[in-house]
Amino acid sequence: MTPRPGSLCSQTTRRKLLAMFLALVLGTSIVLYAYPGAGGPAAYAAYLYTRPRPTESRRKKPLPQHQQPQQPPRTEPRRPSVEIPAASRPGTQSSVIAASRAGPARSGEDADTESEIPAERRRLPQAIIIGVKKGGTRALLEFLRLHPDVRAAGSEPHFFDRNYQRGYDWYRSLMPPSLKGQLTMEKTPSYFVTREAPARIRAMADGNTKLLVVVRDPVTRAISDYTQTQSKRPGLPAFEELSFRNVSAGIVETHWNALRIGMYAEHLQRWLRYFSRKQFLFVSGERLVTDPAVEVSHAQRFLGLRPLISEENFYFNTTKGFPCFKKAESQGQLHCLGKSKGRQHPNIQPEALARLQEFFQPFNRKFYQMVGHDFGWD
């Protein structure tokens, strides 16, 4: 039987199609098993299903602004607060001094070295000149300020008698900046005769404050006190009228402050209830004028200072009758106390002077016994 031409052509076509299908299946199988990291056809199918579609992000339209989710406000992390001491705050005298000594800031190893430089700060006084008025307290303070380890307030703070209610922060603010190891001190002569002062000063440092008292012949001291007051009040009555209730009878006016200050023993008894005797240094006001180097030497030893102040620091001014002083680094430049020092005393009647010397004699002797030293006023 002879085949038809049309059926022969269809059979050939079917064979070609079958061969192409087998080649496609074989190629697909090779690709599946040759895919790196593939786990077979199932893994490849999962990869095709889960792979990211680049066109998906392009098809996604952004939401309108009013429909977008609210983001929490971005805040900076809070820095811990650090209290800066008053002596280190910018603009204070101590910060300027510290900055000038430290020089410009450096980095690295030099900066670490610079941070070790001790900073100055204001401290409560470790020593106080508590008296007495017109005894030579200003002279002693100025002489001690020659020492490089002493930092002293220039004016009288009057904290423990007039300004105690202002508190220690106010009191500390009056002190000059000092380094650790330096001595801070002040002088207010009225403390010695103020009843509240001993207890208040003891409370400041648990009784560890060192106390200096410059004493002077009470009669001479009273005349000096009167002279200062008279310079401010020219119409003041005569010294004799103020010193005696009855001039002819010689009855002393013990309530007059110029005489009451000179009763040193009575005032000292009150201080010894709060402080031991070893916490006091009693300086002779007379020798502070005639031989300042000796008295200052005693003060340096008492305060634990290096003995740097000597006779070379002083020069006696014969015009004023008072010593002037100089610092070692001042190249011989002398400094003298103000015009108020060395005033000319008025002439006092000899009978009045003798009666006052007699009045103060028992007070002086008791004072000598309490301090263990005879000042020779009798």
pLDDT digits (tens, 9 = 90+) for 27-69: 666 655 555 444 555 554 444 445 555 444 444 555 555 555 5
154: annotated binding-site residue?
Answer: no
Distance CA 181, CA 118 (A): 11
Q: Is 230 domain-assigned?
A: yes
Is the omega angle on the peptide bond into residue 25 within 30 degrees of 0, that is, cis?
Answer: no
E strand segments, the chain: 121-122, 127-131, 150-152, 177-178, 183-187, 210-215, 244-246, 251-252, 280-284, 314-317, 322-325
Distance CA 189, CA 158 (A): 9
Q: Is 315 domain-assigned?
A: yes
- Sign for the pseudo-dihedral over CA of 84, 86, 91, 96: negative
277: annotated binding-site residue?
Answer: no
Q: Is 209 domain-assigned?
A: yes
Q: Is 311 domain-assigned?
A: yes
Name the residue with tokens 């009040």.
Answer: 233
187: annotated binding-site residue?
Answer: no
Q: Is 58 domain-assigned?
A: no
Q: Is 113 domain-assigned?
A: no
pLDDT digits (tens, 9 = 90+) for 344-354: 899 999 999 99
Q: Is 108 domain-assigned?
A: no
Looking at per-residue confidence, does 270 or 39 come out higher?
A: 270
Half-sphere exposure of 115 (CA within 13 A, CB side): 7
Q: Is 24 domain-assigned?
A: no
Whether 86 shows a pLDDT value over 70: the answer reads no
Question: How confident is the model over 104-122, as a mean pLDDT?
Answer: 53
* pTM > 0.85: no
pLDDT digits (tens, 9 = 90+) for 302-313: 999 999 999 999
Question: How confident is the model over 248-258, as a mean pLDDT?
Answer: 94
Question: How confident is the model over 321-350, as a mean pLDDT?
Answer: 79
Rg of the Cα atoms in the chain: 47
Total domains in the chain come to 1
Phi, psi (deg, nearest 5) at residue 214: -95, 120
CB distance 282 to 373 below 8 Å = yes
CATH number of the domain enclosing 191? 3.40.50.300
326: annotated binding-site residue?
Answer: no
342: annotated binding-site residue?
Answer: yes
Tokens linked to 281: 């240094």
What is the pLDDT confidence band of residue 23, given thresholds at 50, 70 and 90?
confident
135: annotated binding-site residue?
Answer: yes
**Averaged pLDDT score across all residues of the chain:** 81
Q: Where in the sequence is the domain holding 145, given as residue range(s)? A: 121-371
Q: Which residues are catalytic?
A: 134
Looking at per-residue confidence, does 24 or 350 come out higher?
A: 350
